Structure 1
Amino acid sequence: MIRTPLRPATCLAASLALLAPALITAEPAHAAAKRIRLGSLADVSRGSWSGPAYTMNGSGGVVAATMSRAIDAIRGGTGSLDVVVLAGSAPTSGSTTPECDTVMGLAGVNSCTTWTLTRRSDGDNSAANTDVRNAEFVYFAGGDQCDYADWKGTALQNSVKSVVAKGGGSGGGSAGHHINSAVVYDACRGGVTSDEALYDPYDPAITFTTGMFVWPNYAGTINDSHFVTRDRMGRTMAFVARAIEDGLTTGGAAWGVGVDDGGSLFIDGNGRATAAGADTFVVLGDHRPEQADADRYLSYDGYKIWRLRPGQTYDFKNRPTCGYYLRSVVRGVPDRNLYDGTPLTNCG
């Protein structure tokens, strides 16, 4: 950025006086929490539910196939349930309730309520928390996962946990996919590319939130979205290395879960995940990186990568020890063909 010399004091004072009105109005006012409900005005009343179940989507929209599976799993194939969509900002075009528009077209849905919450304090909005606690599935819309991470420590965090605890479910797309992993790349200091993350795994833009949600059978995970489309394997490798090096996960291992655009990972109550729509990649780091320091290239020998094509499964409860292909990073340069390899079938 080019900086101009300081003006004389009299000119500077006059300039500040002229700028004052603009400075006062530069900070936009936050919109009030907004609620839009579709379907029945009354919540379902039922003693028990058959979940949990989850949907992890590579892009922002609801994927009907996996959402239907989650709804059926939670309601046990009978009756109907209530869904709440949480959004950190309103859509900039089209429908004001795009996720609920899809959800209301699925069997077994009693209602779908969209809450747009734009401030941290909205996480303590009593009406929003009541709706969430009365729901059986919570879907985090696409947008900015930093908005969702900001709700950590508010009532909303525990309200979402209560939905899963009673046998309901959680999920989301893009930013909503990120927030549902155990370690969240929160993007609160901006985005990072694969090249940037491999060059410096401690790039200031790489920040994490932990302790938001740790769903049963999904510990040690770091979700990533738009995976192949935006070439994010490299940055997921860096996230995994950081999680291990910094002790963000237990047992000296971390699992990156990357879902591509149009893809969705359905996870049942026993931790069994099924890919749909597009490929999903599970990237395991099971030892400390050979080099992971600030302002130094990443080196990591032997990431284990499972590529799940639509219909293929991965067991997060009993995590597999075979069926992966191996890829490494040496001084910031990854192996070729990161997104494809011959799975090992004899892993000793």
Structure 2
Amino acid sequence: MLTIYPREGSAQPSGVTPQGPGLILMGGGGDIDAAFVWMHDVIAGSKEGNGGDIIVLRASGDYAYDPYLMKLARFNSVRTIKVDPKASAADLATVAGYVRQAQGVFFAGGDQANYVWWKGSPLAAAVQQVYESGGVVGGNSAGLAIQGEWIYDSVAADRAGADVEVTTKNAVPDPAEPIISFTHDLLRWPPLRGFITDTHFVQRDRLGRLAAFLARLHQEGAGDVIGLGIDTGTAILVDKHGIGTLIRNNPHGAALFLRGGVAQPIQQGTPLVYKGITVTLLDQDGQTYDFNKRCAQA
């Protein structure tokens, strides 16, 4: 089942050649105006040009992004498409047709389990094409959670119950618990190869659970994965050179890069023991991280 909301803005295609690619990694909570202005500028190649056609994808909610984005910057058009979790393969192919005509795609928040099942579909391929054609892709909250190579997908937790959630309080005492599940390669952004992203980071006390994810992934053969936790009201904007810049509307917001190695073997019911973890913290507006070199910039 699909809800294809009316297109806001021009009824004609923008015809713009986007000047990216770029990524918006937004940690949750209220949206950050500056991130969408940046999206426009990357697509248009300037602050004044045509910002292209934007598709907002979501599994719940409404079309509130459409007038919001049109007021922020000179986009040619914005359209929201809601993809129900019970949508068919034909529905995903229909949405892909809209996405292929866009220069920007943004994933709204919600539950990432409602996105990861798109893996391998024409819709996922269409989003990939937008980025590879120089467009901008991003997401907030659950829309951020799906951007890394590795995704904590919430599928097993949702299956266990509507109110079941993986938290630091249950992941650290038992990182092997069966409600932790992952999806690999829904989307394939070069800057985020070898990354898993997490959201609402400090606000929901997720440092411990992210460390548990890294240990679990390493034991399952994923290798040296970097965890990226981003706070509410905080975003990283990744440009076409792979340089990410921190922006915030939360004065205390930060982004944390967590890198481990080999944890002690994980066994059911055994607490996490993980030594040698290194942390890189961005906590000031304008600080940058080089996703190519995997390090912060001075």
Please, what TM-score do these two structures have when normalized by structure 1?
0.77
Q: Which residue of 1 aligns with 2:168?
A: 194
The match for 1:316 is: 291
Q: Distance in 2 between matches of 1:211 and 1:138?
A: 17
**SS state at 2:192 partner:** coil
The equivalent of 2:255 in structure 1 is: 280
Match of 1:73 among 42, 48, 56: 42
- The alpha carbon displacement at 1:246 in A equals 1.1
CA contact (8 A) 1:62 1:99 kept: no
2-side partners of 1:100 and 1:283: how far apart?
35
Conserved? CA contact 1:218–1:271, under 8 Å:
no
1:13-32 → structure 2 map (5 Å cutoff) = 32=1
Residue 166 of structure 1 is aligned with which of 133, 141, 164? 133
Equivalent-residue separation in structure 2 for 1:132 and 1:62 (angstroms): 22
Aligned residues: 282
The aligned counterpart of 1:21 is: none
Q: CA deviation at 1:97?
A: 1.5
Structure 1 position 119, deviation (Å): 3.3
**TM-aligned CA distance change 1:122 to 1:110, over 3 Å:** farther
**Alpha-carbon shift at residue 120 of structure 1 (Å):** 5.4
In terms of mean alpha carbon deviation, does 110-119 or 54-63 score higher?
54-63
CA contact (8 A) 1:120 1:150 kept: no
Cα distance in 1 between the residues matched to 2:198 and 2:188: 16
**Unmatched tracts of structure 1, length 5 or more:** 1-31, 324-348
Residues 54 and 122 from structure 1, CA distance in 2 versus in 1: closer, same or farther, beyond 3 angstroms?
farther
Q: Post-superposition shift, 1:130?
A: 1.5
Residues 287 and 297 in structure 2, CA contact (< 8 A), matched pair in contact too: no
Distance 1:147 1:170, change over 3 A: same
Residue of structure 2 aligned with 1:223, choices 181, 197, 203: 197
Shift of 1:39: 1.2
Structure 1 counterpart SS, 2:295: coil
- Aligned partners of 1:253 and 1:64: how far apart in 2? 34
Taking the aligned partners of 2:4 and 2:206, their CA distance within structure 1 comes to: 34
For residue 65 of structure 2, what is the aligned residue in structure 1?
99
- Larger-Rg structure: 1
Change (3 A) 1:122 1:171: farther
Task: Look up the match of 2:33.
Answer: 64
Q: Give aligned-pair identity as a percent.
A: 34
In structure 1, what is the Cα distance between the partners aligned to 2:278 and 2:40?
A: 32
Asked whether the 8 Å contact 2:22–2:136 carries over to 1, the reply is: yes
Establish whether residue 53 from structure 1 lines up as the match of residue 22 from structure 2: yes
**Relative CO higher for 1 or 2, CA cutoff 8 Å, sep ≥ 6?**
2
Native 8 Å contact 1:123 1:156 kept in 2: no
Shift of 1:140: 0.7
Whether 1:254 aligns to 2:225 is yes
| Alpha carbons 2:151, 2:182 under 8 Å: kept | yes
* 1:51–1:169 Cα contact (<8 Å) kept: yes
Q: Matched residues in 2 for 1:114 and 1:44: separation?
A: 17
Is the CA contact (8 Å cut-off) linking 2:29 and 2:200 kept in structure 1?
Answer: no
Asked if structure 2 preserves the Cα contact closer than 8 Å seen for 1:70 and 1:268, the reply is no
State the Cα RMSD in Å.
Answer: 1.7
Label 1:60 to 1:34 Cα distance change in 2 as closer, same or farther (>3 A): farther
**Counterpart-to-counterpart distance in 2, 1:52 and 1:264:** 17
Q: Note the alpha carbon deviations across 1:243-280, whole angstroms, 9 max, x for none.
A: 222122xxx31111111111111111111111111211
> Alpha carbons of 1:98 and 1:83: their partners in 2 closer, same or farther (altered >3 Å)?
same
The answer to whether 1:204 aligns with 2:178 is yes
Distance 2:72 2:228 in 1: 27
CA contact (8 A) 2:290 2:296 kept: no
Residue type at the aligned position of 2:14 = V
Quick one: which amino acid aligns to residue 33 of structure 2? A
Provide the C-alpha distance between the structure 1 equivalents of 2:264 and 2:230, rounded to a whole number of angstroms. Answer: 27
1:29-70 deviation line (CA, Å, top 9, x unaligned): xxx301112111222113x32111111111154321122112
Instruction: Give, in whole Å, the separation in 1 of the partners of 2:278 and 2:67.
Output: 39
CA distance 1:69–1:290, change in 2 (3 Å): same
Contact 1:72–1:108, Cα closer than 8 Å, also in 2: no
**What SS is found at the alignment partner of 1:189?**
helix
SS at 2:155's partner residue?
coil
Deviation at 1:109, TM superposition (A): 0.6
After superposition, the Cα gap between the structure-2 partners of 1:196 and 1:263, relative to the gap in structure 1 and judged at 3 Å, is: same
Counterpart CA distance in 1 for 2:105 and 2:42 is 14
TM alignment of 1:120-159, pairs within 5 A: 121-122=87-88, 124-125=90-91, 126-159=93-126
